[in-house]
Chain A
């Protein structure tokens, strides 16, 4: 473990020292007008932009856009300034998402958060960067930004048993990567995670395992096979009103194992009288339903 960590650090810092310096460009000769010229007309945008994280482009020479930072996104503006016509400059609000995104991704394409971007539903649905990110004025990293479009999900969070996204401790981006993911719905990863982003298990670490006795649905189909993660009228955000139904829909004794459907876990693990309230909530005894370290029937 220590040797691996040492090797990693060596690669990081060795590469850091070996990285070649970036070349400086003569922006004026390439048709750029400069920030001063832009702000002369677009004063409000200039003021707002200077306060954002992108504003550092204007202050720092290292990024190569000092004194030309507006045109880092909008493209060369000399012609636009001289002719005072909108058609000579890239206006992200009026451009198609594809055109606007090409401008953003010129710098941001390979950030770690963008792994799986091409698989993401935002990418497929042509939801542009500007739908969530404000460049002239930063938007809060909160559910309000996501809820602007995902009104259906906002409605689900209004159910009584839900993750409390209004309390500032849980946010949409804790579970979803809006830039894309190899998982469905941009999930950062569940118990069946294929990547190394924690998702559900970041908070629910006791469900992480590995368990000596795994409950297969959790690994094969993820937490959503039993839970409604956004909100539910059922306790513990379950998919069904009673625990019994949730369990016995799979452990149904139908059909017999080995038939052509190949469904798993068809035989119920016990013979209980469902008329007794005790047995209608299976997890009263099968307490370690997410996986047990010691008991194959998840009893302890």
Chain B
């Protein structure tokens, strides 16, 4: 797997003259079987000519304005493509520009209503992100910086329009975006370092839904002998928002053995909402148990969400072998909203409604940690963390309690761990957390939990490296009525061998997850058990043989995932890749890959697709 990742982003070739490496090719899908929409939701690589990847670098000698210019890109013609550019001049500036274009397709009936022919909750969109960052005087005492970026998402989909007691799949036009900008200054001295930053953004969401022909919706049963349906409907959002934030960070080192840090952050995002809905058909107005043929709604409103966060820490190193860190952080957030709505039924206006909502959240955390170098090869660590907080949210629609529900958080966590380096090539790292709490926000939140992580790495001679890991998290909430039991663990091993003649990377991981919780059926109030299990095997292999005295290579491998439990799944991706030298700076490349997936409970979403890519690699 990691070898494949290395292949994905070729090393930039450096030198004083511009140097470029390019891969172009054509991808064919000679064999496709199964559900094409599932394939697109999971992998989504299609046929056609492709500009697979390119990398270029220029390091002009003696230039007064440029040390290096580097450009990389990948996937042009594919659903996901990127371009990254970096220019820098030491001590003067560093400029980076990034562009990413991601096609995001998702249409899985198992996620929505499998009985409805429409692929509702599906979308076919493009996300485009770009950012430009400019750091001035990098490495100098005073370093101003500026940044601007934009994210946008546009496309089409199917999303239900919910009118009273039925939901109707409707064509949706998705259009949202966020423009953000920030700027500030870093100031560094030997003892004082601070950063002042201010930024903000503007947001819009103009998503719209439309139904233009009779639609009977998801509900198959009639109401009082009549089948609910929409003949025509539109739903339109016009949401705009903006955000301004300020932040400050400071690090002070009054003595060599003390570091004091502080951070402050304040933001006040807000949203303005315009929403309209127009529906015609056979509708039921449940409040009056009356059938109507037309409904119009108009909603306007706003939401404000001021947030203040602060953090501070003191790191003390009283002796060369001891490091003590005391830290504290807090955050306070208050979301307040007000809406005004007007509804007409069969062209008769109902009394206007005004609605407000609040969400209040205060949370703090205090932690003390200590590290002791018992010997040069052994470091022990231990500590304690205390979290406390409170939250207030509106009560549920059917709840009979007070208008605001109050949630509390109280949790003590013990921390321990060690880093062992018995030999220069062997590292063993372990840490553990044991948490005990008597208040938690949600039934599934961490309460009484234990978490252990162990990681070992051994660099052997002759290019061999082996590593292993073991993780376990167990969580429980013994409160009557909750009785949560959760356990997850993963163990794995990895072996790598790298020589001039080739390389091998092999990974294997075994994971299990078990979650057990009881809830009441919302209609019949009968207890139901939510038992989620996931027992998975994951393996990856990449073996590469480099041809002697040439730039050719053969790579075989791939990955597999098999799981049993609540959603048994198999997912295979075998891979073979060939590089054949044609001329000094020209190589022929070929790649075969198969992607196949199957799920026992959702057999109709299985697929298997073969991909063959043939092309040229140009450059050194």
**Residues of A participating in the B interface, judged by any CB pair closer than 8 Å:** 1, 4-5, 8-9, 11-13, 15-16, 19-20, 22, 51, 53, 56-57, 59-60, 62-63, 94, 96, 98, 107, 109-112, 115-116, 118-119, 124-127, 140, 142-144, 147-149, 151-152, 154-156, 158-161, 164-170, 182, 194-196, 198, 202-203, 205-206, 208-214, 216-217, 219-221, 225, 233-236, 239-243, 245, 248-259, 261-274, 277-278, 281, 283-285, 287, 293-294, 296-297, 299-300
Q: In angstroms, how far is the closest chain B Cβ from the Cβ of A296? A: 7
Q: B395-420 vs A: 1/0 string, CB under 8 Å?
A: 11111011001111000000001010
Contact: B559 with A262, CB < 8 Å?
no
**B280 part of interface (Cβ distance < 8 Å):** no
CA distance A240 to B184 in the complex (A): 42
Across chains A and B, the number of contacting residue pairs, with CB separation under 8 Å, is 469
Name which residue of chain B comes closest to A257, CB basis.
Answer: B401
Say whether A269 contacts B396, CB under 8 Å.
yes
CB of B574 within 8 A of chain A? Answer: no
Contact with A along B74-96 (1 / 0, CB 8 A): 11001011100000111110000
Contact with A along B97-136 (1 / 0, CB 8 A): 0001110001010111111100011000001010000001
Provide the residues of chain B in CB contact with A236, threshold 8 Å: 106, 111
**Known contacts A195-B263, A251-B396; 9 further A-B pairs (Cβ under 8 A):** A56-B88, A160-B571, A168-B53, A169-B102, A225-B445, A240-B515, A245-B530, A264-B407, A293-B271
Main secondary structure of the interface of B (DSSP, over half): strand
CA distance A4 to B1 in the complex (A): 48
- Contact with A287, one of B121, B357, B401 (Cβ below 8 angstroms): B121
B301 touches A293 (CB 8 A): yes
Q: What band does the interface of chain B fall in when counting residues whose beta carbon is under 8 Å from A?
A: 35 or more
User: Which of chain A's residues has its CB closest to B78's CB?
Assistant: A167
Q: Is the CB of B393 within 8 A of A265?
A: yes
| Chain B residues with CB under 8 A of A205 | 151, 153, 176-178, 203
Cα distance A168–B69 when bound, in Å? Answer: 19
Q: Check B254 for interface membership: any CB of A closer than 8 A.
A: no
Alpha-carbon separation in the docked complex, A177 to B361 (Å): 25
18 A-B residue pairs with CB within 8 Å: A53-B88, A60-B90, A107-B139, A110-B195, A119-B327, A142-B6, A169-B101, A194-B331, A195-B309, A209-B271, A216-B393, A235-B108, A245-B532, A248-B519, A267-B398, A281-B112, A284-B218, A293-B303
A169 touches B80 (CB 8 A): yes
For the complex, give the distance between the alpha carbons of A232 and B339 in Å.
37
Interface residues of B in 329-349 (CB under 8 A from A): 329, 331, 333, 335, 337-339, 341
Q: How far is the CA of A152 from the CA of B494 in the complex (A)?
A: 10
The distance from the CB of A265 to the nearest CB of chain B, in whole angstroms, is 6
- Asked whether, in the complex, the Cβ of B309 is within 8 Å of the Cβ of A194, the reply is yes
Cα distance, A219 to B91, chains bound together (Å): 41
CB–CB A169/B162 < 8 A: no
Shortest 6 CB-CB distances between A and B: which pairs?
A255-B481, A56-B90, A252-B519, A110-B193, A210-B305, A212-B337
> Which of A147, A233, A264 sits near B569, CB closer than 8 Å?
A233
Q: Which residues of B contact A56 (CB under 8 A)?
A: 67-68, 88-91
A6 to chain B, nearest CB (A): 11
Say which residue of A251, A267, A294 sits within 8 Å of B299 (CB atoms): A294
**Shortest distance from the beta carbon of A163 to any chain B beta carbon, whole Å:** 10
Interchain CB contact (< 8 A) of B444 among A168, A250, A271: A250
- Interface centre among A212, A253, A278, by most chain B C-beta atoms within 10 angstroms, is A212
Residues of B within 8 A of A235 (CB): 41, 106, 108, 110-111
- Taking a contact as CB atoms closer than 8 A, the residue among B159, B184, B507 that contacts A154 in the complex is B507
The residue in chain B whose Cβ has the minimal distance to the Cβ of A96 is: B376
> Which of B21-29, B224-232, B244-252 forms part of the interface with chain A?
B244-252
Q: How far is the CB of A172 from chain B (nearest CB, A)?
A: 11
Chain B residues whose C-beta falls within 8 Å of the C-beta of A271 in the assembled complex: 398, 522-523
Q: Is the CB of B303 within 8 A of A19?
A: no
Q: Which residues of A contact B569 (CB under 8 A)?
A: 159-160, 233
Tell me if B499 is interfacial: C-beta within 8 Å of chain A: no
Let me know if B303 and A210 touch, CB within 8 A.
yes
Contact A195 B247, beta carbon cutoff 8 Å: yes
Report whether A147 and B2 are in contact in the complex, using a CB–CB cutoff of 8 Å.
yes
| Docked-complex contact B269 and A296, CB < 8 angstroms | no
A277 and B113 in contact, given A8-B184, A220-B361 (Cβ under 8 angstroms): yes
**Interface locus among B234-242, B545-553, B579-587:** B234-242
B42 lies within 8 A of A151 (CB) = no
Stretch at the interface among B141-149, B287-295, B611-619: B141-149
Q: Does B20 contact A (CB under 8 A)?
A: no
User: With the chains together, A151 CA to B394 CA distance in Å?
Assistant: 42
Contact residues in B for A212 (Cβ distance below 8 Å):
271, 273, 301-303, 337-339, 357
Least CB distance from A242 to B in Å reads: 8
**Bound form: Cα–Cα A158–B100 in Å:** 22
Q: For the complex, what is the distance from the CA of A236 to the CA of B203, rounded to whole Å?
A: 24
Would you call A268 and B398 a contact (CB within 8 A)? Answer: yes
Do B5 and A142 touch across chains, with their CB atoms under 8 A apart? yes
Instruction: Choose one: A127, A256, A278, A296; the contact of B219 (CB below 8 Å).
Output: A278
Is B589 at the interface (CB under 8 A from chain A)?
Answer: no
- Taken together as a complex, chains A and B put the C-alpha atoms of A62 and B379 apart, in Å, by 39
Chain B 305-336 residues near chain A, CB threshold 8 A: 305, 309, 311, 313, 315, 325, 327, 329, 331, 333, 335
Chain A, Cβ-Cβ closest to B242: A1
**For residue B162, which residue of chain A has the nearest CB?**
A299
- B-chain residues with CB within 8 Å of residue A19 when the two chains form the complex: 140-142
Contact of B534 among A110, A233, A251 (CB under 8 A): A233
Chain B residue numbers with a CB within 8 Å of A278 are 113, 115-116, 218-219
Q: Contacts A205-B176, A212-B337, A262-B408 given: A60-B91 contact, CB under 8 Å?
A: yes
Q: What residues of B have a CB within 8 angstroms of the CB of A53 in the complex? A: 67-68, 88
List, in ascending order, chain A residues with CB within 8 A of B561's CB.
158-160, 233
Write out the residue numbers on chain A whose beta carbons fall within 8 Å of the beta carbon of B304.
210
Q: B359 interface residue, CB < 8 Å from A?
A: yes
**Which B residues are CB-close (under 8 A) to A160?**
42, 561, 569, 571, 597
In B193-208, the 8 Å CB interface with A consists of: 193, 195-200, 203, 205
Quick check: B186 and A168 within 8 Å, CB to CB?
no
Bound form: Cα–Cα A256–B395 in Å: 12
**Option from A8, A125, A206, A241 in Cβ contact (under 8 Å) with B183:** A8
1/0 per residue, CB under 8 A from A, across B46-58: the answer is 0000000100000
- Contact assessment for B442 and A155 in the assembled complex, using a CB-CB cutoff below 8 Å: no
CB-CB nearest in chain A for B14? A51
Give the CA-CA distance A165 to B4 in the complex, in Å. Answer: 11
B8–A250 contact, CB under 8 A? Answer: no
Q: Could you tell me the distance between the alpha carbons of A125 and B430 in the complex, rounded to whole angstroms?
A: 8
CB <8 Å contact, B139 and A63: yes
Residues 510 to 525 of chain B near chain A (Cβ within 8 Å) = 511, 515, 517-523, 525
Residues of B within 8 Å of A233, CB to CB, are: 534, 536, 561, 563, 567, 569, 571, 599
Contacting A at CB under 8 A, from B559-579, are 559-561, 563, 566-567, 569, 571, 573
Task: Report the bound CA distance from A94 to B421 in whole Å.
Answer: 11
> Do B337 and A287 touch (CB < 8 A)?
no
Residue numbers in B under 8 Å from A115 (CB-CB) = 195, 249, 263
Question: Once the chains bind, are A264 and B521 in contact (CB under 8 Å)?
Answer: no
The interface residues of chain B lying within 8 Å CB-to-CB of A245 are 530, 532
B396 touches A265 (CB 8 A): yes
Q: Known: A143-B5, A168-B53, A287-B160. Contact between A221 and B445, CB under 8 A?
A: yes
- Contact assessment for B443 and A249 in the assembled complex, using a CB-CB cutoff below 8 Å: yes
**In this complex, what residue of B is CB-closest to A206?**
B176
Q: Is the Cβ of B335 less than 8 Å from the Cβ of A219?
A: yes
B469 close to A (CB within 8 Å) = yes
The distance in angstroms between the C-alpha atoms of A130 and B111, with both chains bound, is: 44
